[in-house]
Homo-oligomer: A and B are copies of this chain.
């Protein structure tokens, strides 16, 4: 196993333990035991538990940022961009529900400065959804009483996924994102018009 592979293995062990037991309750000893190395040897790979938390949370944040940049600069109509961004989000979360759980729960244990960075990133991410919705409303592709609440609603669907999604289950990430997109676009009320988006 290379140095890089070992480090990756340590991150995955930390994601697993932090997501189950929380950052505070997890010890370096447990992380070492999970990857089957001596406790002291961990420090040849990482500086400590905080580095693990910081890296896990920032990695997730970076994945979301990259998705928005690619989607926003990639062209397409507002509904197409919304659909694509929802697919990317679900793909990120379902690829590691454990990382997503750490991202959403354990950021509170980051130091103030790191929390500030993370909050800015999250605001930017939410702003990307508002931007798409605003454009869609302007172009007549969306109807929304309140852009912010519409954005929050969509993000709620996407974010909550890590709470219930079974990676070993039959529901593929894209199929789930498409279901979400249909609900967000069409709602539950029957439409008199024959055309349903999605």
Measured CB to CB, the residues of A under 8 A from B are 20-25, 79, 104-105, 108-109, 133, 136, 140-146, 149-150, 152-153, 155-157, 159-161, 163-164, 176, 179-180, 182-193, 195-197
Tell whether, in the assembled complex, residue A190 and residue B25 are in contact, meaning their CB atoms are under 8 Å apart: no
Q: A180 and B153: CB pair below 8 A? A: yes
| B residues less than 8 Å from A191 (CB atoms) | 143, 191-193
Quick check: A189 and B179 within 8 Å, CB to CB? no
7 more A-B residue pairs beyond the given contacts A152-B164, A191-B193, A192-B192, with a C-beta to C-beta distance below 8 A: A21-B108, A22-B22, A146-B179, A150-B188, A152-B160, A160-B160, A189-B196
Taken together as a complex, chains A and B put the C-alpha atoms of A109 and B153 apart, in Å, by 29
B186-A143 in contact (CB<8A): yes
9 contacts across the A-B interface (CB closer than 8 A): A21-B24, A22-B25, A144-B188, A152-B160, A153-B157, A156-B156, A156-B159, A192-B192, A192-B193
For residue A194, which residue of chain B has the nearest CB?
B192
Bound: A31/B196 CA distance, A: 54
Q: Which residues of B contact A141 (CB under 8 A)?
A: 189-190
CA distance A104 to B162 in the complex (A): 12
Instruction: Please name all residues of chain B whose beta carbon is closer than 8 Å to the beta carbon of A192 when the two chains form the complex.
Output: 191-193, 195
Q: A153-B157, A153-B183 are in contact. Are A188 and B133 (CB under 8 A)?
A: yes
Which chain B residues lie closer than 8 Å to A21 at the CB level? 24, 108
- Residues of B contacting A149 in the complex (Cβ-Cβ under 8 angstroms): 176, 179-180, 183
Partner of A143, one of B23, B24, B105, B190: B190
| Bound-state Cα–Cα, A36 to B153, Å | 40
Contact A187 B193, beta carbon cutoff 8 Å: no
